[in-house]
Amino acid sequence: MLQRSIQFGRGVLLFSILYSLTGASTSNSFLLSARYLVTLRSSVVDPHAAAQLLASRYQLKLRHTYAHALKGFSATGYASSIAQLRGDPLVTAVELSRSGELMGLDVARKGSTPLQSGQVIPFGVQRIGADRSQIAQIDGVDTALDVDIAVIDSGIQPNHPDLNLAGSVVCNGGQLFEQQPAVDLTGHGTAVAGVIAARDNQIGVVGVVPGARLWSIRVAQRTPDNRVRYDTDDLICAVDWVAAHADVIEVVNISLGAYAPLGFDHGPCGQAATTAEAALHHAICHAVAAGVTFVVAAGEPRPSMPRTDSAAVSPAAFAEVITVSGMADFDGRSGGRSREPICQSADRDDTFWNESNYGSAVDLVAPALCISTTSDSLWSGTSFAAPYVAGAAALYKIARPAASPAEVKRALEASAQPGWNVSRSAGRPYGDDPDNSPEPLINVQALTSAAIALRSAQRSPATTTTATSSQVRPVHQQLANRLWE
């Protein structure tokens, strides 16, 4: 196989984002703050040459050029030039690139809850049954599993002893750096990575798919006013990189999201009436078609956004991704038996998180509160529910490497646990899903058992041996060498 907390009220983080939309000025001033996403016709053979041609023709300042997940580019330019660009025969669409902001970090550990020494199996890992998975094989032996997961986020801390960082890419400020150190600007990306794949090595915590190879793709950057932001054109840069390396990357986690009250383009691959985030949708569609499974956080409130249906959140609204909402678990067990949380939260054990987004776009739910990962702090938000599902998808790919993203999604949904929310069974007026259609809880033990059974039925002789990262294909090693040289 290929080797592959806005501290609001109770201190909870999504990867919280305040969006500001900048309309085109009627003056001819250069729109340095307004960035545009340009989609080229599919008949364009060389997107780089076309981007250069159009930049020269319309006096544009190029940022990114896309050639794999999308044929297009991002740029700034004069308002009059952008208007002319929209009518160019090489262009099919022009839309604004949105800007997002990180507004928080982690949540406070309640009281004086002591940190444990040695390795800890987090409650979230226990609650979804990953500690009982035959593929994860969580037993204190540091055997890195053979699967590749990209984390599109704020970066991953280099040389972290509990993470197997295979390579680092930076998509910031309109530039792509493939050999940039994977500095994490906030700790958020490193925490997400730990939930997915912290090593089973007797220290820290253990993740869902221990020791899996992680690929850091940083899209956030610090601004002069000391905020941490990302732009949609940088996010598309990350997706474009993934599509270019779909022979290596198998699963992507995106704990980011944009909000629009009228909703985003969540029709089939960018074909809905609205054009909001259509370029990003097209890019993700092409990366999924190339075989990469995308897992996305459903989101939660922040000062600029109420709790909402995930149809108003991008890319959570897109049908091609696996969208994950959040639930409360404080003891790693079912039944709502834990009396109170271990961090600052008013939620009840084994209920739908009262801050989580919801809606028909959501596919699965996973633990989202008081999450233990790669730092002494605890983290909360659907940002940390999504990586549990990303880890589960990676485990499935280990057992069934040829499975398509649609097959992975169906398997995760088919094995997930319904009826987990004690507020519904007890008729309690808290912790319920606002859309009255509760999504099932990811169940890694059931998922991987089903995957092994299916694999065994298709092989002769049957085997349940787990592939490890020592089995490296040349394509993976060549990419890793290029990024670290």
Judgement on whether residues 380 and 274 belong to the same structural domain of the protein: yes
Coil/strand/helix, residue 434: coil
CA–CA distance, 447 with 471 (Å, rounded to integer): 24
Judgement on whether residues 55 and 133 belong to the same structural domain of the protein: no
120 part of a folded domain = yes
CA–CA distance, 353 with 387 (Å, rounded to integer): 16
What pLDDT shows up at residue 34?
A: 84
Expressed as residue numbers, the domain containing 243 is: 102-449
Residue 41 sits in a domain whose CATH number is: 3.30.70.80
460 part of a folded domain = no
Reading the chain (485 residues) residue by residue, the pLDDT tens digits are 434 332 223 333 333 333 333 333 334 444 445 899 999 999 999 999 999 999 999 999 999 999 999 999 999 999 999 999 999 999 999 999 987 655 334 554 544 444 567 899 999 999 999 999 999 999 999 999 999 999 999 999 999 999 999 999 999 877 788 866 668 988 899 999 999 999 999 999 999 999 999 999 999 877 777 777 789 999 999 999 999 999 999 999 999 888 876 666 666 776 654 557 889 999 999 999 999 999 999 988 866 667 888 888 889 999 999 999 999 999 999 988 877 777 877 788 999 998 899 999 999 999 999 999 998 889 999 999 999 999 999 999 999 999 999 999 999 999 999 989 887 555 555 567 888 788 999 999 999 999 999 888 776 544 444 555 544 455 555 665 555 44
Structural domains counted in the chain: 2
Judgement on whether residues 41 and 128 belong to the same structural domain of the protein: no
What pLDDT shows up at residue 304?
A: 61
2 part of a folded domain = no
Coil/strand/helix, residue 311: helix
- The pair of structure tokens assigned to 287 is 């990366």
259 part of a folded domain = yes
Let me know how long the chain is.
Answer: 485
5 part of a folded domain = no
Judgement on whether residues 405 and 314 belong to the same structural domain of the protein: yes
Is 276 in contact with 19 (CB distance < 8 Å)?
no
What pLDDT shows up at residue 268?
A: 72
CA–CA distance, 124 with 333 (Å, rounded to integer): 9
Judgement on whether residues 199 and 80 belong to the same structural domain of the protein: no
What pLDDT shows up at residue 103?
A: 38
CA nearest neighbour of 137 among 58, 212, 227: 212
Place of tokens 């094995």: 415
283 part of a folded domain = yes
Q: Going by C-beta distance under 8 Å and a sequence separation of 6 or more, which residues neighbour residue 298?
A: 257, 310, 313, 316, 323, 324, 325, 326, 356, 357, 358, 359, 361, 362, 382, 385, 386
Q: Burial level of 399, CB count in 10 A (0-12/13-18/19+)?
A: buried
CA–CA distance, 338 with 334 (Å, rounded to integer): 9
470 part of a folded domain = no
What pLDDT shows up at residue 470?
A: 44
Judgement on whether residues 112 and 197 belong to the same structural domain of the protein: yes
Place of tokens 């008729």: 427
**CB neighbourhood size of 244 (10 A):** 16
- Radius of gyration (Cα) for the chain, nearest Å? 22
Is 258 in contact with 19 (CB distance < 8 Å)?
yes
Judgement on whether residues 228 and 275 belong to the same structural domain of the protein: yes
Residue 161 sits in a domain whose CATH number is: 3.40.50.200
28 part of a folded domain = no
Place of tokens 């160019």: 88
What pLDDT shows up at residue 223?
A: 74
Judgement on whether residues 314 and 430 belong to the same structural domain of the protein: yes
Place of tokens 């390795």: 119
